[in-house]
Amino acid sequence: MNKYVIIALCLFATLSISASNKKKPAKEIKSTELHLAQPVYNVKYGAVDQKDVKTVIDKVYKYISGEGKNTFSLTSYEWGVTYQALLKAYKATGDKSYADYVEQRFMMLANKYDSCRAQMYNTGSVDAEMRAVVNPRALDDAGAMSTAMMKWRVMDHGNNKYMPMIDNYFNYIEYHQDRLNDGTFCRQRPQRNSVWMDDLFMSVPAILNYAHLKDETRDDATRFYSDAVRQIDNFSDRLFNPQKGLWRHAWVEDMTDHPSFYWARSNGWAILSLCEALDQLPNSYAGRDKIMSIYKQMVSSLIELQDEDGFWHQLLDRPNSYQETSATAIFTYAIAHGINSGWLDASAYGPSVLSGWHAIASKVNEEGQVEGTCVGTGMGFDASYYMHRPVNAKAAHGYGPVIMASAEVYTLLEKQHPRMNDGAVQFYKGSVATGGPIFAIADPTRGEELTAGSSRINESAPVVFICGDSTVKNGRGKGDGGMWGWGDFLEQFLDSTRVTSENHALGGRSSRTYYTEGLWDKVLPGIKKGDFVLIQFGHNDGGPLNTGRARASLNGSDETNQTVIMEKNGGPETVYTFGHYIRLFVRQAKSKGATVIVMSYTPGNSWSEDGKMRRCTDTYAAWSKSVAQEEGVYYIDENDLAATKFEALGEQEAKKLYKDSVHTIYGGAIINCEAIIQGVRNLTDCPLNKYLK
């Protein structure tokens, strides 16, 4: 075989292999389905739950608390931040191991304090960890550590064991740290009278927390508030750029032109200081409004500067600088804290918080180390200095902020309801159970938090729909004002592996307004064959027909009606009997194939002289029962069953289970719910029985 044949065969083989390895073209997406195409994110994107957040906290905590696994200084300002973060994590999650870590270390320092202070006095030296405690020489030594101790002292029931250390720290801050002529904290490096943005955080939180300790002793705390606000004013005059909404890192008294580098972590220290001031200062305190304004300016700027992966960059206004973890964590915390505190709108800012949290979570490795954190950074006068600062997992600055941000996000998820909708993160005021895109969102203030039927386990699993007033669901069903409705507890009596319940009741509604205001129209489409519908009204069916709240129905169960002119709009409305509206609900639910249970309303906190609760036997109970019998559906006399249970407790004990004349507290709602379950069991042929526990 000649060489030309060999070459040809080799070429053929090469081409064949290349063709076989060539990727098959991706399945073509129809133009009508382009919105379904999946984006490719560098960092995870989307909603998150508390379990995910707790996992990250635990991973970092396991690393920092592991003996011999790290060499972090336990008395540095970075660890002062970490102690504060762990206390936030304890408060958010209830996991006492975080607080135990802080307590053990603070008690260790407290137990050594007197002897080390004596040693310092006698010899002029002490071990490096204790030197910063007994003889602080900079705000870095005193600020974050004293703040952490003061916060723990409050949580530790005012334990005065820590007060000698706190007083010593604060003595340095207030009387020994260098200041400019106007009282602004400064340093004598790298230039004379240099103002570092970092020092706002190293001073203001400590001053504000110390003011609260002085309040405890009835001492004058006003001067401490005044000093804290003065520091923020003076720092902002020198370092805050209102056009950018950001803070320069440094200012030097003897310079005409000051360096304008917007280093990320120094801006983090700034916004943490603002958050602390807004938390600690009385709402009416002079100067607080200005602090709030700067905080909101910062947040607005930060949202614009957050990158596509959820990070903020080493120099905030230079996207070609690297993504930096500690600052990203601080900003994530500060914005989440603003939402949790009511300063910011969750719908507008919540998605950026989750994007930031995913970013920092991506930097926590399997060992629990925080990667991507800039090492300690001094004052620079050129971009090259900042942009080339090293990053390292041993940089202690990242650990506290990551825990702090995660703790605040954990709290956020208790108060807010983020979920994916059509590919994007959205924050809702109420829970949204459906897994598909939402094209019409209900108003939770009207009790429309659930999409009817959205809780269904599978296509064949039934749902128990509950319709009623505030005795069934008060507010958002979370104990608003200490009041609970029985519908919030029904699921405790159901086999949750086979059936779900949805509480579509709304406070203040009557049988009439539940229909006329469109609430029933939102429930009905979700009802399917095999479902259950529980109906209880009557508490609000009295009163005026056409003035004020205008929610009354006519007495009775027949088809009597009356046309009235409504005060609110000057138009006519035909008002029917209570029984008419109940009949409407029953018939429409039956047409969907549902099993319907009509109930008399819960007993009010009204007692006769013989120690018996007053009942509605001859009115709403009679009308409810009449409709149920006529329509061939089930009836439970909840009014009588629950009243009998309350009477068994005795009038005085039973009254303690009511918030007012109608609404129950937690224990009272449970009794009402137990009465309903008893009523269901009494209906021996009712198919709901097979789903009870």
Task: Label the pairing between strands 240-241 and 572-576.
Answer: unpaired
DSSP class per residue in 604-637: PS-B-TTS-B---TTTHHHHHHHHHHHHT-EEE-
Say which amino acid occupies 413: L
CA distance 57 to 401: 11
DSSP H helices in 219-373: 222-239, 264-280, 288-305, 325-340, 346-361
Q: Provide the 10 A C-beta neighbour count for residue 622.
A: 15
CA distance 497 to 491: 11
Q: Which two tokens stand for residue 200?
A: 């706002």
DSSP class per residue in 580-599: HHHHHHHHHHHHTT-EEEEE
549: left (phi over 0), alpha (psi -120 to 50) or beta: alpha
**Annotated catalytic residue 660:** yes
Let me know: does 92 contact 337? Beta carbons within 8 Å: no
User: Residue 494 carries which DSSP code?
Assistant: B
Q: Provide the 10 A C-beta neighbour count for residue 484.
A: 28
Q: Which of 249, 397, 504, 663 is catalytic?
A: 663
CA distance 620 to 615: 10
CA distance 164 to 162: 6
**Annotated catalytic residue 470:** yes
Strand boundaries in 410-483, DSSP class E: 417-421, 424-428, 463-467
Give the SS3 label for residue 530. Answer: coil
Q: Which two tokens stand for residue 398?
A: 């990242």
Q: Which of 220, 289, 521, 660 is catalytic?
A: 660
Q: Which of 355, 470, 501, 510 is catalytic?
A: 470
Q: In the chain, what is the straight-line distance between the N-terminal and C-terminal CA atoms, in Å?
A: 85
Let me know: does 136 contact 142? Beta carbons within 8 Å: yes
- Ramachandran angles phi, psi of 480, nearest 5°: -55, 125
Number of DSSP helices (H) and strands (E) in the chain, helices first: 23, 15
DSSP class per residue in 337-365: HHHHTTSS-HHHHHHHHHHHHHHHHTTB-
Nearest of 116, 121, 131 to residue 73 by alpha carbon: 131
Let me know: does 396 contact 79? Beta carbons within 8 Å: yes
CA distance 635 to 633: 7
Let me know: does 52 contact 364? Beta carbons within 8 Å: no
**Annotated catalytic residue 539:** no
CA distance 491 to 468: 16
Active centre residues (catalytic)? 470, 660, 663
